[in-house]
Structure 1
């Protein structure tokens, strides 16, 4: 397992550049001194959720009777749809209602630790069941890089502007499409091999 490649894939799925503008919009209704603390709290919650699935994901899949090929194919489809949304954004901005402080939803889940990240994590733990520490390290690296980008998002927004962050998100979406297609093809190959004589 290539630790750096896996960390990069998680980083693409976390999509920090795509979340910069949305997180900024959600937090803009809060007092400035609260924004950083809320962001850190939500990021830590997202990391805890990911670690829970890292530790208990294998048991969950076994309980549901899901095979690696099923997870790989469905994960590839989910990643592909997420990547299409990054390339061709048509979603409306998510905003907090009134002055309500966001808690878990929507920032930690599903915008950061969303279905695509959890599917990728479950697939990876199924594929490499004996390397949970390495997978956890990859998640930690991707989470740290994403957290730094989001914590410095006001500076990033001033430096790159909305067009610059949108361009970076589309580049990440393009790379994620390649990962999604490969994941889908790997799942098909495993599925077909199960019928081979």
Structure 2
């Protein structure tokens, strides 16, 4: 149970639904509310299929590359740490992301499913998790589904969240999520170091 909770929190933090709220709304704002929901659900379903694919194939890919579990843990910690830093201290380019990505046509696959939800960092994390916990694939699937459902709910209720917290409140929550992710990534890194040196 503890594994499911910790992995679920980790995946939610990487999916970053609160950080993606303004971008999703900007991309879909020109559509009718009902159509907007249908597109959102469709894109989230596509993202889920892609994430499951990487979760199942990740172990085989890493075995093919002959990577040790310790290497996976250390590199995973570094990746997540960098993601968290970007969440806490967004660069000027990342702030411009929503402006650059907005298009008037109806989105399909890109940019909503990929890379906003099933981005490179999340797919890499799923590969690392499948390698670290090959015998707990059901736990990982459960965690992924829970994180995915929470993300779907947040995005479907985007209007309410933005009205409730405002853009500044959403940004503050994203930074808080970044702080939590830094702690999780540091723990993952230290676990890898301990295993490597048999501490």
Give the structure-2-normalised TM-score.
Answer: 0.89
Aligned to 1:17: 18
- 1:173 to partner: Cα distance: 0.5
Q: Distance in 2 between matches of 1:156 and 1:38?
A: 19
C-alpha RMSD of matched pairs (Å): 1.8
Q: How many residues align?
A: 194
Q: What do residues 34-65 of structure 1 show as CA deviations (whole Å, max 9, x unaligned)?
A: 21111111111111111111212111111222
Q: 1:151 aligns with which of 153, 156, 165?
A: 156
- 1:179 to partner: Cα distance: 0.8
- Give yes or no for the alignment of 1:28 onto 2:32: no
- Give yes or no for the alignment of 1:104 onto 2:109: yes
Ranges of 4+ aligned residues in structure 1 off by more than 6 Å: none
Structural mapping, 1:146-185, within 5 Å: 146-185=151-190
Which structure's residues are more often helix, by fraction? 2
Specify every segment of 5 or more residues in structure 2 that has no aligned partner in the other structure, as ranges.
none
Specify every segment of 5 or more residues in structure 1 that has no aligned partner in the other structure, as ranges.
none
- Give yes or no for the alignment of 1:131 onto 2:136: yes
Structural mapping, 1:7-86, within 5 Å: 7-86=8-87
**Could you tell me whether the CA contact under 8 Å between 2:47 and 2:118 is conserved in 1?**
yes
